[in-house]
Amino acid sequence: METIEAPNVVVGAGAMGAAAAYHLARRGEPVLLVEQFAIGHDRGSSHGAARITRHSYADPRYARLMPAAFRAWRELEADAGESLYMRTGGVSFSPPGSDYAARVAASLA
Ligand SMILES: Cc1cc2nc3c(=O)[nH]c(=O)nc-3n(C[C@H](O)[C@H](O)[C@H](O)COP(=O)(O)OP(=O)(O)OC[C@H]3O[C@@H](n4cnc5c(N)ncnc54)[C@H](O)[C@@H]3O)c2cc1C
């Protein structure tokens, strides 16, 4: 059996594992990314052409992460040499009596 040694091993090349491996590699760290299927396969959560990323979270813990996340998207676009993020409008709904929209507004403020 072949043996491969690496100081950093990431198991799973979905969005999370691929991002972890990318950031390790970007820091100059050797990294082995192990995936059981072909890259871009349709059997994980990361399958598909698009995801929403937004500042408008009701949970302030997520909202606080977003400035850094948007910076990271711009860095990734610069590294990739292509546009990956398409800015659109968004609307948040909540039923009467729910404070969801107010919490989203507070996050945006
Ligand atoms: C329909 C849908 C819509 C979504 N919309 C949004 C959205 O708009 N915005 C947002 O932020 N998030 C959204 N999400 C959530 C987001 O897509 C997931 O949180 C994210 O893709 C999870 O990535 P992951 O790498 O953790 O998991 P996965 O993409 O599932 O990757 C795990 C990988 O590990 C591999 N693996 C597992 N075990 C092994 C093993 N033993 N050996 C080798 N490889 C292994 C799998 O094959 C897989 O490729 C959505 C999710 C879904 C399903």
Whether the pTM exceeds 0.75: the reply is yes
Residue nearest to atom 53 of ligand 1 (CA): 45
Q: Is residue 109 helix, strand or coil?
A: coil
Single-letter amino acid, residue 29: E
Atom of ligand 1 nearest to the CA of 44: 30
- 39 C-alpha to center of ligand 1: Å? 12
Q: Is residue 106 helix, strand or coil?
A: helix
* Pocket-forming residues, ligand 1, beta carbon under 6 Å: 11-17, 34-37, 44-46, 51-53
Domain boundaries, the chain: 1-46, 50-109
- 52 C-alpha to center of ligand 1: Å? 14
Cα–Cα distance, 43 to 89 (Å, whole number): 30
pLDDT tens-digit map of 47-104 = 998 999 999 999 999 999 999 999 999 999 999 999 999 999 999 889 999 999 999 9
Partnered with residue 17 across adjacent β-strands are none
